[in-house]
Amino acid sequence: MKMKIFVPRDAAAVAVGADEVATAFEQIAQKRGLPIEIVRTGSRGLCWLEPMVEVATPEGRVAYGPVSTEDVASVFESMASNGPHPLRLGVADELPWLKRQTRLTFARCGVIDPRSLDDYRAHGGYKGLERALSLGSDAILAEVTASGLRGRGGAGFPTGIKWKTVAQTKADRKFIVCNADEGDSGTFADRMIMEGDPFLVIEGMTTAAITVGATKGYIYIRSEYPHAIEAMKAAIIAAERGGYLGSKIGGSTYSFDLEVRVGAGAYVCGEETSLLESLEGRRGLVRAKPPLPAHHGLFGKPTVINNVLSFAAIPFILSEGARAYADFGMGRSRGTMPIQLAGNIRQGGLFETAFGVTLGELVDDIGGGTFTGRPVRAVQVGGPLGAYFPRALFDTPFDYEAFAARDGLIGHGGIVVFDDSVDMRKQARFAMEFCAVESCGKCTPCRIGSTRGVETIEKIIRGERVSENLALVEDLCNTMKFGSLCALGGFTPYPVLSALKHFREDFVPAPTTLQAAE
Amino acid sequence: MTAVYEPCYEPWDETRGAEIIAEHARQEGATLVILHALQEAFGYIPEAAIPMVAQALNLSRAEVHGVFTFYHDFRHKPAGRHVLKLCRAEACQAAGGDALAARAEAKLGVSLGNTTADDRVTLEPIYCLGLCATAPSAMLDGRLVGRLDEKRLDALVAEAQR
């Protein structure tokens, strides 16, 4: 029987040698005269074990990792004989790190061949859309609203309300826009799902289109993600061929065309109105709201603009029902969140779980602390605009409101871990500097405030009038927070103020004990 | 299987430029699409292309220039023969990226954002490649490298200098 070997094609696996490993398997199989089939999948998200390869066995898919090209020969023997190997991890589905998760959105990621529409359908793909087509607009809106799904880009706005607004707005054309400008450091869930299960994103967007009456959609992907761009483009072509995009979708009367557009390195374009400007071919200047994109969006038409993960959550909600999704979570944060553990972390990767898990569980227990082995000192949650949390706040549950109550945000679900060698003055300075570089320039608090912020923090670092300058930074942060047009200027104060508040000792020199006069 | 990108660009040619522009001009909101296509062909956006794009899209030169200068990706002049991008965002900082960036700068004798005097290597910062759980990461001419350490970085630098 032909041995079936699965090697991820996810960018994170490729960056640590997955392509070379796949080639090595082909070569050794040829040399040994054993026929094999290599399936290039997405990543299961256990990034510290990448490249993690799997082999199909009667017991299920058995995983090995991290596999380097030097390991391939012995791993191949172990696969062929079903024998032991130091890198053999056991049946993938039974790995504790995967078993602890609740994978609703990422259920297929790392399992299926992302280029195969048939594989997607064989694993439950397009069941959600089929049900959506039978339900009709009002019933879909009711399901999405009842699921409690909130915008996974970070703002947490209820998706059902957004869609309903667009559905109720009359216009000759409407658009669906997928925000795949995942610029936050520490986040990679959008990239992973686009590379590992691209039809899921297409299905979610198509569902939105039939719900609100849109006929054209765009996926705006950042240029830093060449693999994701390629994967989405290939999936769109396959979906068109399969009758899931274009005219008469799935045999219905609906039409929907989808196009990939590529960003050009501007972080601010992850802000939805800036993204729309960019899609229209302009500088990514943030628009003042109102009017909301739901009323006056792309090319002035009503537009649903959602994050990749929001669209990716839709097929499950439609196929399994709103209740099945809303049963997970806590408070007003319903369902699951694909959390990304990153930075200086021993077991980093993608961990999808119901809201409510605590920050400490995520970092210490699931993430296993730092890979440097030094104590965890700070974690930044929610990207460059998210707050730094000290260990003292590790009891914070992963929930939109709980993080907001502690002057933080969950954002897009990225957690970046730092050990005790971190200098929080540097991190605070970096937050301001990043904002200064990436500011679109439209509003003064962000454009000027960030530059003044860098200068003032530098004065603090040099030890110039520290307490006065600290007060100045705090004041400046308040101006930026309340006076900026969008989250870039408005949230940059989060990392800065949290660094000041929780890691004060880094900013204020230790009181010098007076030396006795000689 | 490894995609080895040896960037190979055409010299600027007005007729070829006009062709590329015409190919994309009918799309809605085509400015970025055209600028990307021009840069893909020529390795940068030649100054002479700006008025051509403006005319094709019925925009002012100032508008197109504004778009061109807003986005970090678009180059004003050709890059070095190889482009080495180092991720400088927080996750890579947490994983030792600062020291590696300094090492690359020292090895190449240029600071981030610059090209070596022999035009061989352009060293650039990039803000997040989305490889944050296998940090620090880099990209050499489109090829991704994760779990960067001194040894891997030195190999990358040597490869770029070849």
Instruction: Report chain A residues whose CB lies below 8 A from the CB of B127.
Output: 183, 185, 224, 267, 434, 438
pTM: 0.96
Quick check: A11 and B73 CB within 8 A? no
Kindly state whether A301 is in contact with chain B, defined as any CB-CB distance less than 8 angstroms.
no
Q: What is the pLDDT of residues B65-120, one digit of tens each?
A: 999 999 999 999 999 999 999 999 999 999 999 999 999 999 999 999 999 999 99
In chain A, the percentage of residues whose pLDDT exceeds 90 is: 97
Kindly state whether B74 is in contact with chain A, defined as any CB-CB distance less than 8 angstroms.
yes
Alpha-carbon distances, residue A314 vs A161, A170, A207, A218, A286 (angstroms): 14, 24, 8, 17, 28
- Give the distance from CA A300 to its chain's centroid: 28
- Amino acid, single-letter form, for residue A316: F
Q: What is the pLDDT of residues B47-72, one digit of tens each?
A: 999 999 999 999 999 999 999 999 99
Which residues have C-beta within 8 Å of that of residue A221, sequence separation ≥ 6?
Answer: A180, A181, A194, A228, A229, A232, A260, A261, A262, A263
Quick check: A281 and B67 CB within 8 A? yes
CA distance B127 to chain A (A): 7
- Identify the residue among A97, A185, A381, A492 best suited for mutation to test binding to B, counting B beta carbons within 10 A and taking the highest: A185
**Cβ of A296: how many Cβ atoms within 10 Å?**
18
Quick check: B32 and A264 CB within 8 A? yes
- Identify the residue among B45, B69, B70 best suited for mutation to test binding to A, counting A beta carbons within 10 A and taking the highest: B70
pLDDT band of residue A511 (cuts 50, 70, 90) is low
User: Torsions phi, psi of A379, nearest 5?
Assistant: -130, 135
pLDDT band of residue B162 (cuts 50, 70, 90) is confident
- Amino acid, single-letter form, for residue A117: L
Quick check: A278 and B32 CB within 8 A? yes
Quick check: A283 and B93 CB within 8 A? no
Kindly state whether A143 is in contact with chain B, defined as any CB-CB distance less than 8 angstroms.
no
If contacts are CB pairs under 8 Å, which of residues 222-261 in chain A contact chain B? 223-227, 261
Residue in A253, A174, A270, A254 with CA at minimum distance from that of residue A217: A174
Instruction: Report chain A residues whose CB lies below 8 A from the CB of B28.
Output: 280, 299
Report d(CA B162, CA B153) in Å as an integer: 14
- Rounded mean pLDDT, A86-97: 98
Instruction: Report chain A residues whose CB lies below 8 A from the CB of B66.
Output: 282-283
Report d(CA A395, CA A280) in Å as an integer: 44
Report d(CA A119, CA B74) in Å as an integer: 38
Instruction: Report chain A residues whose CB lies below 8 A from the CB of B128.
Output: 183-185, 187, 224
Question: b/e string for A70-97 if b means 16 or more Cβ within 10 A?
Answer: ebbebbbebbeeeeebebbbeebeebeb
Report d(CA A355, CA A150) in Å as an integer: 12
Quick check: A345 and B133 CB within 8 A? yes
Burial class (CB in 10 A: 0-12, 13-18, 19+), A405: exposed
Kindly state whether B39 is in contact with chain A, defined as any CB-CB distance less than 8 angstroms.
no
Q: What is the pLDDT of residues A142-194, one digit of tens each?
A: 999 999 999 999 889 999 999 999 999 999 999 999 999 999 999 999 999 99
- Amino acid, single-letter form, for residue A173: R
Is the predicted pLDDT of residue A15 greater than 50, yes or no?
Answer: yes
Quick check: A225 and B66 CB within 8 A? no
**Cβ of B27: how many Cβ atoms within 10 Å?**
14
Looking at residue A182, what is its pLDDT?
96
Report d(CA A362, CA A234) in Å as an integer: 35
Quick check: B133 and A341 CB within 8 A? yes
CA distance B56 to chain A (A): 13
Kindly state whether A366 is in contact with chain B, defined as any CB-CB distance less than 8 angstroms.
no
DSSP state of A516: P
Which residues have C-beta within 8 Å of that of residue A442, sequence separation ≥ 6?
Answer: A285, A286, A485
Token duo for residue B162: 């070849």
Q: In this structure, are strands A3-8 and A36-41 parallel, antiparallel, or unpaired?
A: parallel
Question: b/e string for B66-97 if b means 16 or more Cβ within 10 A?
Answer: ebbebbbbbbeebbbbbbbbbbbbbbbbbbbb
